[in-house]
A and B are shown apart, each in its own frame.
Chain A
Amino acid sequence: MTLDPAIRDQVLATVPSLRAFAISLCGNIDRADDLVQETLLRALAHIDSFQPGTNMPAWLFTILRNLFRSEYRKRRREVEDADGRYAETLKSHPEQTGRVEFNEFRAALAKLPSDQREALILVGASGFSYEDAASICGCAVGTIKSRVNRARTRLADLLAIDSLDDFGPDRTTRAVLAGGGRN
């Protein structure tokens, strides 16, 4: 196969966003890059099934997501450490300000159910329409909307509770308010 340079450039232009999405799924840069590579191998081997003029990012995201679901979820136990690995990758960027807040955000994001996190990232970060996100996830538009809403509400709850640390009730009071028994 000799690929049309215009199509190749569309593929390359999607790679940065595809990696960001892959990292959000895998929680690990090395594994995400493997997933991106597998996606590109698969995509370019089946480039004939891509219709020029249609949405290249949505096409590639769909392939990546399907690969992740079919292969990577088998290694679920390893992926559960995604939170810790995020923290590990963050150490390479000590210069960035707001790191603590940023880490809290990632930790909160990691607590969301994967379908909600995925929907929120596709719509809120990748910039897909609800329709494209639904097509990528193979579900109804209403389902995506509902997942995004639940993700936002849950994140707001998690982050609001965390920020009470600064000026709110102490830890014990907070645990009681949150209905938790731990101290």
Chain B
Amino acid sequence: MGKPITQRKSEVRLGREVQARIGQQLRAMYDEVVNQGVPQHIADLVRRLSDQDDGVA
């Protein structure tokens, strides 16, 4: 039963490492989409809606 102590220590260490990387991974995942910018069809939609006189249902 010596194992659990080693186990716990490594979990604490990993926990910190993992914790530090969560924010990084989260932003990387998010920015992958953000970096795609505005898709053309959405830009067109916004411009079309901005110029028309009648409202949208």
Which of A's residues lie within 8 Å of B, judged by CB?
A: 1-3, 5, 8, 11-12, 15-17, 19-20, 23-24, 33, 36-37, 40-41, 44-45, 93, 101-102, 105-106, 109, 120-121, 124-126, 152, 155-157, 159-160, 163-164, 168-169, 177
Contacts and interface: CB of A to CB of B under 8 A. Distances in A.
A156 B15 contact: yes
Contact of A17 (B3, B34, B39, B43): B34
Contacts of B36: 16, 19
Contact of B46 (A40, A106, A121): A40
Which of B14, B26, B27 has its CB near the most chain A CB atoms (within 10 A)?
B26
B46 A12 contact: yes
A169 to B, nearest CB: 8
A contact patch SS = helix
26 contacts: A1-B55, A3-B49, A3-B51, A8-B46, A11-B46, A12-B43, A15-B43, A16-B34, A16-B38, A17-B34, A20-B30, A33-B39, A33-B41, A37-B45, A41-B45, A41-B56, A105-B22, A105-B25, A105-B29, A106-B29, A125-B31, A155-B18, A156-B18, A156-B19, A160-B14, A169-B3
Contacts, number: 113
B2 to A, nearest CB: 13
How many residues of B sit at the interface, in one of the four size bands? Answer: 35 or more
B14 A41 contact: no
Contacts of B57: 45
Contact of B42 (A17, A36, A163): A36
A177 B7 contact: yes
A160 B18 contact: yes
A121 B34 contact: no
Contacts of A3: 49-51
B36 to A, nearest CB: 7
B33 interface: yes
A41 B34 CA distance: 20
Contact of B23 (A20, A23, A124): A124
Contacts of B37: 16
